[in-house]
Structure 1
Amino acid sequence: MATVHFLYRSVRSKAKLEVRLQHTHKTFENITNYIWTAKTQIEVTENFWTKQRKVKSKGNIDISNEQTRVNNLCNALDNFILECFNTTTPEAITKNWLQTQIDHYYSPPIEKLLEIIPVNLIDYFDYYIKHKENRPTDVLIRKIIVVRRKLERLEKYRKKQILIKDINKQFKNEFQNYCDNEKYSRLTTQRDFAEIKTICLDARSKGIETSLELDKLSFKREKATNIYLTIDELQKIENIEKSKLADYLENARDWLLISCFTAQRISDFMRFTADMIRIEDGQNFIEFTQVKTDKIMTVPLHPKVIEILSKRNGNFPKAISSQKYNDYIKLVCEIAELTQEVYGSKLTETAPESGIFRKETKMFRKCDLASSHIGRRSFATNFYTKIPTTLLKNITGHTTEAMLLNYLGKSNKDLAKETHKYF
């Protein structure tokens, strides 16, 4: 694991930043920590770096522009250094190695300048992951790879290479027909095509030819079926008699309640530990970094979460795999008698023992639709209008109120009805 930091280490009022690379090298015998520094071409003033770099600009366009410029330069070099580090053996990393990489960054060798940018779509997916300005998260990489593999299957089926310039209305229809035949849900097809369009727009920014129809390509948005647990249903889950729950189901039940009162994804809440809790002015908070967004979060702990921790001597339940969690909470909801038929989607096998699963949308028992995401949606839905959206989005981690409202599926008509309550 390596980290990159930028430093202002000059007595002059304006100077070029230094970069510091820290990494740990583990061997069978010991663990060694290394720190290397080198010079960059990023020039800033001492006043900006020490006083203005992290402050809110408050309408000062000059400071805002400088923050954007420096952040972009630092992020791009940061990504480049880490990319070089990840393709180099630890023994080769030295101060001279670091300075050489930075020099190559600003003045690429001839062979780098001649690197060919792919014009076929599938190969460009790999190029996109490698060269994206902001290093993609593991979650985004997995998402991209899923779409890439689907395109590989389509290319094999059509027996013709998919070129970036050919992503037009005709291809959109072809992609839709292929996904329909493969029994993918329309929502999945819509999301995958949006990813394809993003990749093509990136290719256009690199000078690759794209279709004149690309900008206007889109699918009619299909609403997702939003299944959540109401406050009354959460109370039923909480009140399940202890004798009806085996230890592993009680463990899963407590995680389910925690997720419904913290609004976090399973990749985050299943990592919760007692040492992440901070108490300030008698109030309990949990601090962590979201896996998907890399965003630092501070979430207030609801009294229901405090109750669960209290009965467990201040500890969170035992962590389990996402697969087991999804299986167990279905059983928990069934024991809580949440068996009413509701309209929703779940993965079902296309044919017995086929091993191929697709989302099917129809009436199911509510307990059978419970999955790891139900907690996040339950919190957002149950506390919408009870907590101002400006505060609610800070708990869910949505960047804007518009994103939160879209997540909740709120239309202009829904918002108008909510506003009417204040007249």
Structure 2
Amino acid sequence: MNLIMINSIKTTSGTAKYRLKEPNAKKETSIILDYSFGRKNRIKFSTGYKVDPKFWDGSNQRIRAISTIENRETVNADLVNYLAEFMKEISELKEIERTNKSVLKSLLQKIIRGEQKDVSITKTFFEYADSFILRKENQSKGLRSTKLSPVTVRSYKQTVNRLRDFNNELGYSLDFHTIDLNFYYEFVEFLEQKNYKTNTIGKHIKNLKTILNSATEDGYNSNLKYKHREFKALSEETVSIYLTEKEIEAIYNVDLSGAKDWELARDIFLVGYYTGQRVSDYNPVKKEQIKRFQGTEVIEFKQRKTGKKLFVPLHPKLKKIFKERYNGNPLPELNAGDINEFIKEVGRKAKIDDKISIEKKQNGKIVMDSLPKYSLIQSHTARRSFCTNAYLSKMPVIDIMAISGHSTEREFYKYIKVTPQERAIKIAESDFFK
């Protein structure tokens, strides 16, 4: 059988061709049907066949006749038939279905696998949003490279719940075609009246735009008014505090023997302070992370956010905590939300109660409020306090960054909380002013 396959097949909808999954592989690799359509949209689907790259004719998209593969003619014939049937099926689709990845993949599933999958176009925004979240939940259980944190998935759920609240309370008939600037302003006002903070509102707008981008790419949405420059995620600078060395000492020494949960949260927080790491890296520290180099004990970290590997000297106070409270072992893990809740109580008991003035939006208006400092302490305060106090102690910035993982000095100086007065005192201690 002599089959000729053209380089690619072009239609008014898109371009289809076969290619190898790994063209430079030293062994057999999958033959993929690659279909490009619309603007930067494409799907890739395995044909179920594999071939050694040296036997593949990329120009004609077929297995070479010189190969020793016995069923090459059958494979080549199948490839021709798959492509022809796929293009025929596409020509019979409705316009909106021709750019719907789920519909296109279901066609290939039926043609190549012989499996019929019922795929219908999502008719409403909320139907799509629910399927989007379900997909994200499944991703969070998948491979590490595609894994989403439960916090991220929960954030999407919260956004959709707020949109449902808005839709039900205002009778808005929310759907893809009603999401425009009028909707944007009304939704923001709705959240402001519910006393949501500006950054929380911004988070919901950002999540909504992510869902809409996905729906547009998948062919479910054609309304692009959400891309208007005024349809933006609001934000404001958050109140980020740091604890002074004196306040850290108060937390270290406060008696928490009657509240074991608070005590564990306090000790985990101190691990964060004395290592300068994010809570995702210091909660928990495992025994095998503690190493010894030339007589010095260090803790080895591989930061989850950056992937950087770094080593932090084991602070004498951490050694003491491990020895006196945990039989020489690092601390057990505690839920991050519990740490944030309990560490505030620890700060209150340690009398870290200076008043902090903050600006916040309430019913769409900016109002001033005064809060005790302990109410603003959270797990991340540990890292910020380390960086700030290390800087004030005259530790070289490059060494602090080697511990904290900051990439640039500009990023570092923006992160630390040093008042102009504190900086002036530090400058005054330089050789120039002596």
Matched, 1:188 2:206: no
Q: Distance in 2 between matches of 1:209 and 1:389?
A: 50
Q: Distance in 2 between matches of 1:153 and 1:115?
A: 29
Q: Distance in 2 between matches of 1:380 and 1:169?
A: 42
Q: Distance in 2 between matches of 1:286 and 1:139?
A: 26
Q: Distance in 1 between matches of 2:339 and 2:355?
A: 22
Shift in CA distance, 109/296, structure 1 to aligned 2, threshold 3 Å? farther
Q: Distance in 2 between matches of 1:271 and 1:177?
A: 41
Percent of aligned pairs with the same amino acid: 23
Matched, 1:270 2:283: yes
Q: 1:344: how far off?
A: 4.8
- The corresponding residue for 2:209 is 197
Structure 1 or 2, whichever has the larger Rg, is 2
Mapping of 1:4-153 within 5 angstroms?
Answer: 13-16=26-29, 107=112, 111-112=116-117, 115-118=119-122, 120-131=124-135, 134-153=146-165
Q: 314, 321, 324: which is aligned to 2:328?
A: 314
Q: 1:322: how far off?
A: 4.5
Q: Is the 8 A contact 2:25 2:53 kept in 1?
A: no
Q: Is the 8 A contact 1:17 1:40 kept in 2?
A: yes
SS at match of 1:362: strand
Q: Distance in 2 between matches of 1:375 and 1:42?
A: 55
Q: Is the 8 A contact 2:166 2:172 kept in 1?
A: no
Q: Distance in 2 between matches of 1:180 and 1:213?
A: 20
Q: Distance in 1 between matches of 2:408 and 2:180?
A: 31
- The corresponding residue for 1:228 is 242
- The corresponding residue for 1:342 is 356
Residue type at the aligned position of 1:152: R
Q: 377, 384, 391: which is aligned to 1:377?
A: 384
Shift in CA distance, 178/380, structure 1 to aligned 2, threshold 3 Å? farther
Q: 141, 144, 169: which is aligned to 1:157?
A: 169
Q: 1:392: how far off?
A: 6.0
Residue type at the aligned position of 1:139: V
CA RMSD of aligned residues (A): 4.8
Q: Distance in 2 between matches of 1:406 and 1:43?
A: 53
Q: 1:139: how far off?
A: 2.2
Shift in CA distance, 204/276, structure 1 to aligned 2, threshold 3 Å? same
Q: Distance in 1 between matches of 2:156 and 2:266?
A: 33
Residue type at the aligned position of 2:191: C
SS at match of 1:261: helix
Q: Is the 8 A contact 2:198 2:234 kept in 1?
A: no
Q: Is the 8 A contact 1:129 1:136 kept in 2?
A: no
- The corresponding residue for 1:413 is none
SS at match of 2:232: coil
What's the TM-score once normalised by structure 1's chain length?
A: 0.59
Structure 2 stretches lacking a partner, 5+ long: 1-20, 32-47, 55-107, 140-145, 361-366, 419-425
Q: Distance in 1 between matches of 2:405 and 2:49?
A: 34
SS at match of 2:28: strand
Q: Distance in 2 between matches of 1:257 and 1:384?
A: 18
Cα deviation code 1:138-162 (max 9, x no counterpart) = 2211111111111111121232432
Residue type at the aligned position of 1:124: Y
Q: Which deviates more, 401-410 or 124-133? A: 401-410
Shift in CA distance, 226/254, structure 1 to aligned 2, threshold 3 Å? same
Q: Is the 8 A contact 1:230 1:382 kept in 2?
A: yes
Q: Distance in 1 between matches of 2:348 and 2:379?
A: 15
Structure 1 stretches lacking a partner, 5+ long: 1-7, 19-38, 46-102, 347-359, 411-417
Q: 1:109: how far off?
A: 5.8
What's the TM-score once normalised by structure 2's chain length?
A: 0.57
Q: 1:379: how far off?
A: 3.2
Q: 1:179: how far off?
A: 0.3
In the comparison of the two structures, how many residue pairs are matched? 316
Cα deviation code 1:231-268 (max 9, x no counterpart) = 3321332344x5x7546254433222112233445455
Shift in CA distance, 135/383, structure 1 to aligned 2, threshold 3 Å? same
Cα deviation code 1:338-372 (max 9, x no counterpart) = 111013599xxxxxxxxxxxxx9721111222233
Q: Distance in 1 between matches of 2:124 and 2:412?
A: 36
Shift in CA distance, 232/145, structure 1 to aligned 2, threshold 3 Å? same
Residue type at the aligned position of 2:159: V
Mapping of 1:395-414 within 5 angstroms?
Answer: none
